[in-house]
Amino acid sequence: MKNLIKPVQFIIGFIVLVTVTFTTNAQSNQTPVASSKTLLEQTLLEHKGKVIYIDFWASWCGPCRRENPHMVELYKELSPKGVEFLGVSLDKKKEDWLKAIEKDGLIWKHVSDLKYWNSAAAKLYGVNGIPCTYLIDQNGIIVAKKVFGDELKAEIEKLLK
């Protein structure tokens, strides 16, 4: 598949994404806090050399919420193989966002600036509808967009070979 973005562009985009967001890790039940330089550095180092799946979604998005049970299964299967998931919410209300993460059992990292369609991350990645997903290879290159289900699993497995 043709590379869609260069690694440097991804890293710059990821830096912007992380620095303008709130963050939560549902697995450790952290309360969202404003991101810091330390969190940025930690997140970038943590994801370096891994396959990363970015999912733009929102608590009010029916198709997003219906996809979540499948994503939980896929995460449980693939995270031990080094695949990282990152949820980027286009919610406006922090309570709705956190409630959806908890209710749907989304155990990977999530970020949101709570700016709805004015989200800096959504603008940066050209998101104009959700769910919208990006699959990034170990070199930081976006290799697929808007992939779900069996197609997503197959794309990830190709990258892990």
Domains of the chain: 7-160 (3.40.30.10)
pLDDT in tens, 125-154: 889 999 999 998 888 788 999 999 999 999
Please give the single-letter amino acid code of residue 23: T
At residue 97, does pLDDT exceed 80? yes
Q: How far is CA 140 from CA 3, 11, 64, 137, in A?
A: 10, 7, 25, 5
The pair of structure tokens assigned to 69 is: 């049970």
Q: Provide the pLDDT for residue 15.
A: 44
Alpha carbons 15 and 140: distance in angstroms, whole number: 13
Q: Provide the pLDDT for residue 150.
A: 92
In degrees and rounded to multiples of 5, residue 104 shows phi and psi of -85, -5
Four-point Cα dihedral 50, 161, 145, 74, nearest 10: -80
The H-assigned helical ranges of 20-113 are 37-47, 62-78, 94-104
Q: Provide the pLDDT for residue 3.
A: 47
Can you give the pTM of this predicted structure?
0.75
pLDDT in tens, 3-52: 454 444 444 444 444 434 444 444 444 334 333 233 333 554 677 788 98
pLDDT in tens, 62-88: 999 999 999 999 999 999 998 999 888
DSSP state of 128: -
Contacts of 46 (CB under 8 A, 6+ apart): 84
